[in-house]
A = this chain, B = another copy of it.
Amino acid sequence: MPTDLAEGVLAGDRRAAARLITRIEDGDESIRPALARLHICGGKAHIIGITGTPGAGKSTLIHKLAKCWRKAKKTVGIIAVDPSSPFTGGALLGDRIRMQDIATDPGIFIRSMSSRGNSGGVARATADAVRVLDALGMDIVIVETVGAGQSEVAVMDIVQTVVVVVVPGLGDDIQAIKAGILEIGDIFVINKADRDGVEAAQRELEMMLEFDDSSRKGWRPQVVRTVATKSEGIEELIEKIEGHRDMMKKEGLLEESERRRCRREVLELLKHKAVLSLLAEYGPDDFDALVKAVAERKMHPHDAVERIMERKKG
Contact = CB atoms under 8 A, between A and B. Distances in A.
Interface of A: 32, 35-36, 39-43, 53-56, 83-84, 119, 127, 146-150, 152-154, 167, 170-173, 175-181, 255, 258-259, 261-263, 265-267, 269-275, 277-278, 290-292, 294-295, 297-305, 308-309
The 5 closest A-B CB pairs, nearest first, are: A149-B180, A36-B300, A274-B274, A146-B179, A53-B176
Contact of A269 (B171, B299, B302): B302
A259 B292 contact: yes
A259 B295 contact: yes
A149 B179 contact: yes
A2 to B, nearest CB: 13
A273 B309 CA distance: 9
A305 B53 contact: no
Given A32-B302, A266-B304, A275-B267, A119 B297 contact: no
A267 B287 CA distance: 10
The A contact surface, by secondary structure, is helix
The number of times this chain is found in the oligomer is 2
B301 A266 contact: yes
B259 A305 contact: no
A265 B301 contact: yes
A294 B43 CA distance: 11
Contact of A148 (B127, B176, B261): B176
Nearest to A33: B300
Given A265-B301, A266-B294, A270-B275, A53 B179 contact: yes
A151 B178 CA distance: 13
B277 A291 contact: no
A298 B298 CA distance: 48
A298 to B, nearest CB: 7
